[in-house]
Amino acid sequence: MKNLSTNALGAVFMMGSMAGFVINDTLMKIVLNDLGLFQAILIRGLFATAFMVLLCWAMGSLSSASSLKKNLKDKYLIWRSIGEVGGTFFFLTALFNLPIANVTAVLQILPLTITLAAALFLGETVGWRRYIAISIGFFGVLLVVKPGAEGFNVFSIYALIATGFITLRDIATRQMPQNIPSTLVSLVTSILVTLLGLIGSLFQPWATVGSDQLIYLVSAAAILMVGYICSILAMRDGEVSFVAPFRYSILIWALLLGYFVFGDVPDWVSIVGAVLIVGSGLFSFYRERKLARKAEISLASSSASASNH
C-alpha cells in the first residue's frame, strides 16, 4: 500500500510538472508577440535565477565554496549546460512560430532519442523491439513535422534541433556525479540561459516592457521553477518506471492551452503522429521495466544458488 501511495504521489507530481512547463511555454509564447526572443529570455531568466538562488541557499547547495568550485568544473555539468542553452534557444524559436501542441508533440520523442543515444554513446543494450519502437516514434515525428508538405514550416526543424540538444542534456545528466545537488544544476542552467538572453539582446532592438508582459514573465519564471521542483519530487517519490509515462500528460495540457489560448486545432495527421510517438515511448518504458524485473529475478536466483553452495 505504501508503494502504491508513493507511486500515486509521484504521478501527481509528474503531471503537475508537465502542467507547469506548458503554462510557462504558453506565457512565453504570449510575451514573444510583443518582446524579442532574447529580451524575454533575459527578463524571465533574471527572476528564475533569483528564485533558484533562494532555493539553493535554503537547501544548503551553496554552503561549501570548495565543493561548489569542484562541481562547477564537472565536464558533464558543462555538457549538460550546453544542451540546455541550445535546447532553450531552438525550442523557444520553434514555439513562437508553431502551434504549442506541435512543438510539444515533437519533444515527446525524447525518451526514444535518449534510449538511442545511450545505446550509441554509453554502450547500453537496446533490443530489436525497442529499435522498432524508436523507428515508429520517428515516423510519428515526421507526421507532425510534415516535411515536404504544403503546410510545412521550416521552424519544425528548430524543434527537432531542440530535441537533439535536450537529448545531449539528459545524457550528460545521467553521467553527472550523484553528489552534485539538483538545485545547483538548475541554478547553473538558469544563469547560463540568462546569459544567452543578455548576449542576444545586445543585438536586438529593446522593446518597452509593459506591466502585462512583466507579470507574464515573472509568472513564467515562478511556474518554471515549480515545474522543475515537481519533476525532482516525482522521481524521488515514485518508481521511475511507473512515474515516467505520466510525462506524456504534457500533450493534453498543450492541446488544451493551445486551443483555449491560441485557438489552435491540430489536424488529424498531427494527432496520429502524436499517438505514434506516445505509443512507442510507452512501449519503450514497458520494455525497460520488464527487462529490469528479469534482471532482478536473475540476480535473486544467482544469490540463492550461491547461498545453497
- 205-220 pLDDT, tens per residue? 999 999 999 999 999 9
What pLDDT was estimated at residue 8? 83
CA nearest to 281, candidates 100, 138, 84, 128: 138
- Reported as a pLDDT band with limits 50, 70 and 90, residue 1 is very low
Q: How far apart are CA 254 and CA 250, in angstroms?
A: 6
Contact predicate 105/270, CB 8 Å:
yes
CB burial of residue 45 (10 Å; 0-12, 13-18, 19+): buried
Domain boundaries, the chain: 75-176+267-309
CA distances from 209 to 214, 264, 305 (A): 7, 26, 70
- Reported as a pLDDT band with limits 50, 70 and 90, residue 2 is very low
CA nearest to 49, candidates 170, 188, 201: 188
- Reported as a pLDDT band with limits 50, 70 and 90, residue 4 is low
Q: Which of 35-49, 184-198, 236-250 has the lowest mean pLDDT?
A: 236-250
What pLDDT was estimated at residue 165? 95
pLDDT at 293 over 80: no
pLDDT, tens only, 153-193: 788 899 999 999 999 988 888 788 877 887 788 888 889 99
Look at the chain and count its residues: 309
Supply the DSSP string of 187-229, one letter for each residue.
Answer: HHHHHHHHHHHHHHHTTSPPPP--HHHHHHHHHHHHHHHHHHH
Q: What percent of the chain has pLDDT over 90?
A: 39
Neighbours of 199 (CB within 10 A): 11
pLDDT, tens only, 59-72: 777 765 556 677 77
What pLDDT was estimated at residue 309? 56
Cell 521495466 maps to which residue?
Answer: 289
Q: How far apart are CA 140 and CA 178, in angstroms?
A: 35
